[in-house]
Amino acid sequence: MMMIPITKPSEALTCREFVELVTDYLEGALTPLLQDQFEFHLSICEGCQIYVEQMRQTLKFLGQLNEAAIPTEGKEKLLATFRAWKQTLPNKAP
């Protein structure tokens, strides 16, 4: 459920501001003050905790694309190229 602080912290970051700082936070590029504010918000807001978790999952998925094999269309195109090339071989196997 939504966790709203009982008293409105006027100094605190809102969720809307928080999500814009996530990359700088993950990159270690926040100023010490913003870093504190960011971490405070993170400690009290479940929604933003899940947001950061989703962002980490996103990064994990992206990293897995690297291991991805050649796309199917690419493979099919290559196979067609190979077959066309095979026709040009002088003594092709029966």
Partner 1 sequence: MNEQTIHSIYDRELICSEDTRLLQALRSGDERAFLILVERLHGKMMRIALHYVLDRQIAEEVIQDTWMGVLHGLTNFEERSSLQTWIFQILTNRAKTRMRREQRTPSLSDIVEPQEDEPAVSLERFRTGYYAGWWILHPDHWNNGVEDQVLWQETYVYIQRAVQQLPASQRIVITLRDIEGWTASEVCNRLALSEENQRVLLHRARSKVRRALEQYFGIQQQAKQAVS
Q: Closest distance between partner 1 and the C-beta of residue 33, in Å?
A: 18
Q: Closest distance between partner 1 and the C-beta of residue 43, in Å?
A: 15
Q: Closest distance between partner 1 and the C-beta of residue 31, in Å?
A: 13
Q: Which two tokens stand for residue 20?
A: 């814009």
- Three-state DSSP class for 11? coil
- CA separation (Å) from 1 to 23, 45, 47, 72, 93? 25, 10, 8, 43, 69
φ, ψ of residue 54 in degrees (nearest 5): -65, -40
Task: Tell me which residues touch partner 1 (CB under 8 A).
Answer: 2, 4, 8, 14-17, 19-20, 22-24, 27, 29, 45-48, 50-51, 53-55, 57-59, 61-71, 74-75, 77-79, 81-83, 85-86, 89, 92-93
Where along the sequence are the contacts to Zn ion (CB under 5 A)?
15, 45, 47-48
